[in-house]
Chains A and B, each alone.
Chain A
Amino acid sequence: MKKVIELSINGDLYEVLVSPNQTLLEVLRDQLGLMGTKRGCDLGACGACTVLINGEAYLSCIMLALDGVGKEIQTIEGLNQTKDLHPLQKAFVEVGGIQCGFCTPGMIMTAQAILNEPEKPTEDGIKRKMAGNLCRCTGYKKIVSAVMSAAEPAGEEV
């Protein structure tokens, strides 16, 4: 039976009609038009659909929309509430951590979850925590550099 639920996405409340088996990814893309979250595998295996739930990285393609009720959902569209680029977005662009850009929103959201953690990220930690995000273009090197540089205060060499 379909049900009307309220989801808090990027700080705003959305009322949506969902079926019990509908994933959060389907609601974001197909109902709300938040196309920044990508569908790469629909199996929780590539990370392209990563969003933040209460600040932590989740795969929206294997999460039910119903389970998002009462939580703070953040997508790539809501990463930045100002007119400027978010430091992670800026670093990905400038360091060359983007090629085709399809994995990029998921990469950036996972990276944001890492930056949300209290301890300062290390290169090994980034690789470990981002291992669920696949990229076929970059070979990952410049993505690690981008996350490291976004984690550093401006001006410091990474």
Chain B
Amino acid sequence: MEHELNVVGKRLPLHDGVPKARGTAQFTDDITFPGMLFGKILRSPVPHARIIHIDIEKAKKVKGVKGVVTGQDIPDRQYGIVPKARDEYALAKGKVRYIGDDVAAVCAIDQEIAEEAVSLIKVDYEELPAVYDPLDSIKEGAPVIHEGVQNNTSMSIRKEFGDVEKAFAESDFVYEDTFYSQAVNHAPLEPHAAVAQYDPLRGDFTVYSSTQIPYFLRRNLSSTLMVPENKVRIIKPKVGGGFGQKIDMFAKDFCAAWFARETGKPVKFVYEREELFISTRQRHPMYITVRTGVKKDGTILAQQFKAYADGGAYNSTAPTMIALSCYFLMIPYRVPNLIYEGHHVYTNKPVGGAMRGHGIPQARFAVERQLDMIAGRIGVDPVELRVKNSIQAGEPHPAKFIINTCGFEDCVKQAAEAIGWKEKRGKLPRGRGVGIAGASFPSGVSNMSHISSGSVVQVGQDGAINVLSGAADIGQGAETVIAQIVAEVLGVPLDDVRITAADTGTCPLDPGTFGSGVTVRAGNAARLAAQEVRKKLFKFVAKQLGVERDDLAAKERFIYVKGNPEKGMSFKDAIKGYQYDNQPMPIVGRASWFAPSTEPTTLFKEDGNFAPNYSFMAQAAEVDVDLETGQIKLLKMVTAHDCGRAINPMLVEGQLEGSVVGGMGQALYENIIVENGQVMNPSFLDYGFPTFLEMPEIGAIEVETDDPIGPFGAKEAGEGTQLSPAPAIVNAIYDAIGVDFKELPVTPEQILEVLEKGGKN
């Protein structure tokens, strides 16, 4: 980067921090309209059954009830975020597939009446045999969850890179191990909600929704309601965390819109906490068998994977999840020969969906754990093993990823040094240990045409800079980052930029918050749009100053000649002069952006560059295992992180710290327990994600690279850091007590059981 940066790269507070701190920031449940109705969903109490009959007569007669809807009433249109995997109705038609499946809905003048009416709906079910484990579900004769889906396997991929058979034959050692990752709930603090309005003359729906994907929600609502997409306007208010759980339409969105049209009133649905645990989404439980061939020195020659993901009752993001799980096995390590076979399997359980890392945390747990096991078996230090196999920038990739920048090797070395690897590994007293793991993540996806972002930047007569972006800020600070990018390009402070975002009625297209693509994708669109404005304004200023446009730079509201910072014009005077020069106002810049892609990558058929760029990280943990009680305490986690250039280091740290604590939850505490299809711990108290008390010491080391594609060199920072905390922690537990755990989470009960058996798992 040749010029200094004034706004980008600075630790600036969220642009909407003040309303959030004052409690005036508006979330979906905070929205009320006069005459608004309240909705409630009736959910299936049985895991698998045919719906024989639904009697809504009693519910309809309750005073104050304004509408009842069942699966029979709605169009025969299935939805899902991935078109070819659509298998879900907003309300079940004919059959329910898990406890919590959406069956019917009521709206009424208040919440209590809606709840009473829902309890009066009588459903006759003909119960069917159910299945709860994907390994049972694939067996011959297992209950059929979706008609026509063989072996309950809705999605399978098999990909082969290189010559795996030959590479295994050339390996000095070949090891095979099987690992399991559990179901984890995203547990955002804000419950899912929707408020809908309908204009019968225009045929327009306006839906406020706690969503991460306003434009996909628009598409799914349009197709399920069977109305044109341009008749559905989605507005995303503040969203209280998503982590992937708010990627998808839900019954609350559909039913709010349905009732708004049927009743002519605004309608609100808010899910209860229990509904979030049972009826939204969770991280897929996954069995993964890994076979790895290495040379004596630890060089990886080949890997073969077989994965079974427990998808629960519906597909949600299944194809994407399986593809991510596969492709990201070939990064951050050099794996020249690889076979991946992955299956997405239906069970009569809560639905798997995108969750921070999306299919990759499960795969990384398996790989990073097995690398440590191999290191032990062949007598190579785990850090050395990782350094030896680190992928490097510019090297050819088996799946044709283009890796322009890569700080992974430095990340491993620096994380190891910061945790005190040399002094501690294998040298701490029994019960204390250190472990390390690594990962890489895409900054969005570059291979699909609808994965593009637009931006409009407008400078008005008042000098105000207004940005329109479709990006969905769900708390990570996307709006702030985009505003920073615009402020940097125009040479003004962050506070001079206002942003309006995530309203499909006024803002340009954006795919939403997933795949960690927002900063690179929406950030680049905003950067280009701001550059359009800058070109127009600078052209005028250059003429006034008698210089060339390219001679100019700008900072702190002053446009000046490079190398002669005295000579210039204030931003305000430039705007004033521009309009008196008979130039049309406002000055508008527009841009659309998607990642450059030369390959027709489709994940399943063609290889190619998956993402515009890739972040890298290594995470090192120190744990204390209480040999009496089995309690495991994560003392410290250090992350060395290549996220390119951080647009806002304070927000990047925030992402990282949240990821580390989330990863710790995945490693040690969190697990959705299901018995006979019933979630047994659907509350914060029973589920128990980490609190202030479990918080470890968190260290961060920035391994900066200057990526050529990310805006100002940025890469993703939201998801990658959630991939390696869990394996790093479990690797540290090995160092502490010499036991190789292969399943998540590792609990005190398991520790005690193993210790009683003499330390062998």
Contacts and interface: CB of A to CB of B under 8 A. Distances in A.
A156 B23 CA distance: 28
Contacts of A139: 654, 656-662, 695, 698
A98 to B, nearest CB: 5
Given A37-B23, A100-B241, A136-B689, 13 more contacts: A36-B23, A77-B23, A93-B14, A98-B20, A99-B477, A100-B474, A102-B189, A127-B692, A135-B189, A136-B189, A139-B695, A139-B698, A141-B657
A22 to B, nearest CB: 10
A143 B272 CA distance: 26
Nearest to A33: B32
Interface in A31-51: 33, 35-43, 45-46, 48
Contact of B23 (A40, A46, A75, A142): A75
A41 B14 contact: no
B380 interface: no
A35 B23 contact: yes
A70 interface: no
Nearest to A103: B189
A134 B23 contact: no
Interface of B: 11, 13-14, 16-27, 29-30, 32, 186-191, 238-241, 243, 270, 272-273, 474-477, 650-651, 653-654, 656-662, 683-685, 689, 691-693, 695, 698
B679 to A, nearest CB: 15
16 contacts: A38-B189, A39-B270, A42-B272, A43-B273, A45-B683, A77-B22, A77-B23, A89-B21, A96-B11, A98-B14, A99-B241, A101-B19, A131-B692, A134-B684, A136-B689, A139-B695
Contacts of A140: 657, 661, 691-692, 695
Nearest to B26: A35
Contacts of A45: 273, 683-685
B21 A136 contact: no
Contact of A130 (B13, B24, B684, B692): B692
Nearest to A78: B23
Interface residues of A, number: 52
A96 B653 CA distance: 9
A39 B29 contact: yes
A46 B662 contact: no
Interface in A120-158: 126-128, 130-144
B361 to A, nearest CB: 16
A105 interface: yes
A133 B689 CA distance: 12
Nearest to B657: A139
A75 B270 CA distance: 22
A154 to B, nearest CB: 17
A92 interface: yes
A89 to B, nearest CB: 4
A137 B692 contact: no
Contacts of B29: 39
Contacts of B477: 99
A35 B684 contact: no
A136 B17 contact: no
Nearest to A77: B23
Given A98-B17, A99-B477, A137 B654 contact: yes
Given A102-B240, A131-B691, A134-B691, A40 B20 contact: no
A57 B20 CA distance: 19
A112 interface: no
A144 B691 CA distance: 12
Nearest to A39: B29
A85 B661 CA distance: 29
Contact of A40 (B13, B273, B474): B273
A130 B22 CA distance: 19
Contacts of A141: 657, 695, 698
A127 B189 CA distance: 19
A108 interface: yes
Closest 6 CB pairs of A and B: A36-B23, A100-B475, A102-B240, A101-B20, A139-B657, A76-B23
Nearest to B698: A141
A33 B238 CA distance: 17
A23 interface: no
A134 B654 contact: no
A93 B238 CA distance: 16
A9 to B, nearest CB: 13
B189 A142 contact: no
B37 to A, nearest CB: 14
B653 A134 contact: no
A60 interface: no
Interface in A64-89: 75-77, 80, 85, 88-89
A102 B654 contact: no
Contacts of B16: 101
A79 B627 CA distance: 46
Contacts of B243: 136
Q: Name the residue among A35, A48, A126, A143 with the largest chain B CB count within 10 angstroms.
A: A35
Nearest to A75: B23
Contact of A98 (B21, B239, B661): B21
A78 to B, nearest CB: 10
Contacts of A101: 16-17, 19-21, 25, 238, 240, 475
B493 to A, nearest CB: 15
Contacts of B187: 136
Interface in A10-44: 33, 35-43
A115 to B, nearest CB: 15
Q: Quick one: which of A88, A90, A140 has the most chain B CB within 10 A?
A: A140
Contacts of A131: 691-693
B20 A104 contact: yes
Given A131-B693, A134-B189, A138-B657, A41 B273 contact: yes
Given A93-B13, A100-B238, A131-B692, A41 B683 contact: yes
B355 to A, nearest CB: 12
A28 to B, nearest CB: 11
Nearest to A36: B23
A99 B654 contact: yes
A43 B23 contact: no
A152 to B, nearest CB: 18
A127 B21 CA distance: 20
Contact of B18 (A93, A96, A133): A93
Contacts of B24: 35-36, 77
A132 B21 CA distance: 19
A36 B22 CA distance: 7
B191 A127 contact: no
Contacts of B270: 39
B689 to A, nearest CB: 7
Given A35-B26, A48-B189, A131-B693, A93 B21 contact: yes
Contacts of B19: 101
